[in-house]
Structure 1
Amino acid sequence: MTRELLPGEHAVLALLRTRAMYGYEMARYFEGEDLREVCPIEQGSLYTYLRNLEGRALVTWREEREGLRPPRKRFALTPVGEGLVEAWLREPVARLREVRFELLVKLYVLHTVDPGAEAALVRDQLRVCETYRERARERVARAGDGFSRLVAQSKLSAADATVDWLQGHLVTLSAPTARP
């Protein structure tokens, strides 16, 4: 059985969706101000992810030379990798805790490659989170006193905050000239 892709592997595929890149270019993106806050992938992990993705025929590379410099590998998505990342980019995350990593990576890439799809993903994610929030409210109502109630309230509070944030971001995306 083939294991699921790791979140970092999805992030690498998503970054390659913007364009073909050298490994060091990808490392700079993951070390840069925007992505570092969301998914700080170190160079060693990046190359491990690239090897894993190549082994699954999701990524390919081409050796390029410039003058007397050592050859470099330019990585690109395969058609299978492109199909996988396109589906992943447009699918809302299933778990609330994945919003802080996976959803933000998706929004970062969609903002670059398909800004129109960004609002659609936020709307879909909002529906998922509103459903989660309703279930969390039901758990709070059923919870007794003590620790189980504290946990249920914590989950509800996180769901409330996430729904509020998504609604605010959707308003920002809907503004005629305002783009984050």
Structure 2
Amino acid sequence: MAKLSPLALAVLVMLSERPMHPYEIGRLMRSRGKDQSIKIRYGSLYTVVQNLEKQGLVEADGTDRAGNRPERTVYSVTGTGREAMDRRLSEIIELPEKEYPAFEGALSLVGVLGPDRTVELLERRLAALERELAEGREVYDHLISDLRLPRLFLIEVEYAAHQKRAEADWVRGLLTELKEETIDGMSAWRSFFGGGGFPEEWKDRPFAASELGLNEEAPEN
């Protein structure tokens, strides 16, 4: 059986509370703010539920009708589904998995952009992070104060905020080093983009210019 996606796992968790149809599952997840932590394509919820049914993790449990709308199939989680849900959720909580964030990947290739362009882009990212942190704090305060949600239901929001705050602090520190040109390798990087060619001190390192996405000649400005 393939690993459960975060959305499939969330569907099983929702159905562990009570039988529901896919539209109700999506509405409940949105009302609880799960779309802030899990990428939800509401149009694909039906497909996710159907795939879970094929795997024997959920099953049809009658129909439901609201007003003049067509009947909708209500699903419930099976015993096998509960076992799969518990196993996968436990794995994610217990064991760190190597993930590949786009930003991390871009940082590994940033040499091709040059110092000045990199500083400009990181300043924009830092501004966006600070804006998102401020907005997130307002949302968190609203959920705590106005909706009176227990903190237990918001620990994923706290985790995301801590991650974002740590990233903002790291980017801020990196920007300081780049602007003050105190980061190791900065002089060679600037020389390369100033027309000095691929730095001699980099040629004996365990990477080549082509592996950095750079040409041996300095890029045109």
The two structures have a TM-score, normalised by structure 1, of 0.47
Q: Which has the higher helix share?
A: 1
| Greater radius of gyration (CA) | 2
The two structures have a TM-score, normalised by structure 2, of 0.39
